[in-house]
Structure 1
Amino acid sequence: MPHPEYVFPPPPRPAVAIAGETRLFPVRRIFCVALNYAEHAREMGKEPGAEPPFFFAKPADAVVADGATIPFPSLTHNLHHEIELVIALHAGGADIAPERALACVFGYAAGIDLTRRDLQTEARKAGRPWDMSKGFDNSAPVGAIRKAAEIGHPSQGRIALSVNGAPRQNGDLSDMIWGVPQIIAALSAQVTLAAGDLIFTGTPPGVGALQPGDVAEGEIAGVGSVRVTLAR
């Protein structure tokens, strides 16, 4: 049957679960902050805090529900896990002042930024964008969002990830170089933010490779958890 407005039916809207609710959080865009933990910056060979926040993006449909099993990504032999605090916005704007930023936050979740590290390294060496190392299919597992009205705005607490039960990443939200207000302010100077935007806020040290069959489980104290399985 022809669709009255489009040449074919539009795809379903990507969405994330909300803790304690049947309603979903509709995802508009996904942004990510690079190198926001000093020790992770060092393990990537960078000097922490030497530059302003650097952002990259993932497509909205890269979102993966908590507990899902996903295919092992193509074109990579070095898939890395990065556990991150995710900000979910219910309001936005341009040039948001840091003191107004938290009013835009709907809630927070635990997320995993999956990265095709070998593709990223090759792109960096060639001076090319590294979109395909970050924004591939199923690259953004996100756990249920906890409302800021219930948990506040976390600025400290354990953030960790294990693979098949073995600890890999371990840090504290207080180790972030740029906090949530500074991240929102800096990003809104570059793009106009809006309700539905997700912002991954960077990862602590200990990133490493995943193999087919691995189960990655991340948790953030007071926020929640996220789990994803790589299919064999």
Structure 2
Amino acid sequence: MQTVHILSSQKVFRVGKIVCLARNYADHIKELGNEVPDKPVLFIKPATSIIRDGENVVIPAYSNDCHYEVELAVLIGKFAKNVAEKDAMSHVAGYGVAIDMTLRDVQSELKAKGLPWEIAKGFDTACPLSDFVAASEVEDPHNLGIRLSVDGMLRQDASTALMMRRIPAIVQAISAIFTLEEGDIILTGTPAGVGSVQRRSRLRAEIDKVGCLEVGVK
């Protein structure tokens, strides 16, 4: 069982599902040669994919091209089904830093065949995740610097202001399809600058006013 907590609180949240939004930054869509979606593109990582600060991503033997993607994580604090955008933020308990580890070669092969690509996104250790800060401590989650470095070299450097769909719209869209429960987590997409990592690399992800996360790669 995976749990997370908010740093300023004693409350512990049992993680249910991790719902991820793909293609939410225009420059990232462009760098991968994808089309801009007219509807949210969603996929799910299991809670078993979570690792914490200081732990290691383990690249599966079936991949030779593992990529990093830094993302703002949103912790759901209460039941949400068919939530209106105007009410969506009341369901957010906190914010964290996540890295969506992606087996790009596996994903590309499966997409080309029209097959699901969960094994490229949901493998064990595929979701490094920080602790969370309370939503009340982040004045505007849509105006935060977001960065990722590999072995001390800055690779992603952007702002959550570049998100094409903002958190209220994301919660509205997801809750119309998947019921969101306390402890569920939403990953809101990654900016441009993604790339591959090698075994023995060190990743550092940080989001202003939210926190930082460091993991190794094995």
TM-score by length of 2: 0.96
Which residue in the other structure is 2:197 paired with?
A: 210
Which residue in the other structure is 1:128 paired with?
A: 115
User: For residue 14 of structure 2, what is the amino acid of its counterpart?
Assistant: P
- Partner Cα separation in structure 1 for residue 174 and residue 163 of structure 2: 16
Cα drift, residue 17 of structure 1: 4.2
Which residue in the other structure is 1:3 paired with?
A: none
Which residue in the other structure is 1:14 paired with?
A: 2
RMSD across aligned positions (CA): 1.3
SS of structure 2 residue aligned to 1:100: helix
Cα drift, residue 153 of structure 1: 4.4
- Partner Cα separation in structure 2 for residue 16 and residue 85 of structure 1: 15
- Partner Cα separation in structure 1 for residue 62 and residue 94 of structure 2: 34
Which residue in the other structure is 1:32 paired with?
A: 20
Does residue 58 (structure 1) correspond to residue 42 (structure 2)? The answer is no
- Partner Cα separation in structure 2 for residue 197 and residue 25 of structure 1: 9
User: For residue 194 of structure 2, what is the amino acid of its counterpart?
Assistant: V
Which residue in the other structure is 1:47 paired with?
A: 35
SS of structure 2 residue aligned to 1:191: coil
Which residue in the other structure is 1:162 paired with?
A: 149
Cα drift, residue 152 of structure 1: 3.5
Cα drift, residue 54 of structure 1: 0.8
Partners of 2:69 and 2:100 within 8 A in 1: yes
- Partner Cα separation in structure 2 for residue 116 and residue 166 of structure 1: 21
Equivalent pairs counted in the alignment come to 218
Cα drift, residue 149 of structure 1: 2.1
- Partner Cα separation in structure 1 for residue 90 and residue 11 of structure 2: 21
- Partner Cα separation in structure 2 for residue 33 and residue 143 of structure 1: 18
- Partner Cα separation in structure 2 for residue 143 and residue 182 of structure 1: 24
Cα drift, residue 20 of structure 1: 4.1
Could you give the per-residue CA deviations for residues 21-78 of structure 1, whole angstroms, max 9, x where no partner exists? Answer: 5653320111100010000001111233x41111000001111111212433321100
- Partner Cα separation in structure 1 for residue 12 and residue 57 of structure 2: 21
- Partner Cα separation in structure 1 for residue 10 and residue 78 of structure 2: 21
Could you give the per-residue CA deviations for residues 66-108 of structure 1, whole angstroms, max 9, x where no partner exists? Answer: 1212433321100000000000001122210000000000000
TM-score by length of 1: 0.90
SS of structure 1 residue aligned to 2:48: helix
Identity %: 37
Partners of 1:17 and 1:143 within 8 A in 2: no
Unaligned runs of 5+ in 2: none
Partners of 2:16 and 2:184 within 8 A in 1: yes
Partners of 2:13 and 2:182 within 8 A in 1: no
Match of 1:139 among 112, 126, 140: 126
In the TM superposition, what are the counterparts of 1:77-116 in structure 2 within 5 Å?
77-116=64-103
SS of structure 1 residue aligned to 2:67: strand
Which residue in the other structure is 2:187 paired with?
A: 200
Which residue in the other structure is 1:174 paired with?
A: 161
User: For residue 112 of structure 1, what is the amino acid of its counterpart?
Assistant: I
- Partner Cα separation in structure 2 for residue 65 and residue 170 of structure 1: 22
Partners of 2:58 and 2:124 within 8 A in 1: no
Does residue 191 (structure 1) correspond to residue 158 (structure 2)? The answer is no
- Partner Cα separation in structure 1 for residue 25 and residue 57 of structure 2: 28
Partners of 1:110 and 1:224 within 8 A in 2: yes
- Partner Cα separation in structure 1 for residue 13 and residue 140 of structure 2: 18
Please identify, of 27-36 and 143-152, the stretch whose mean Cα deviation from structure 2 is larger. Answer: 143-152
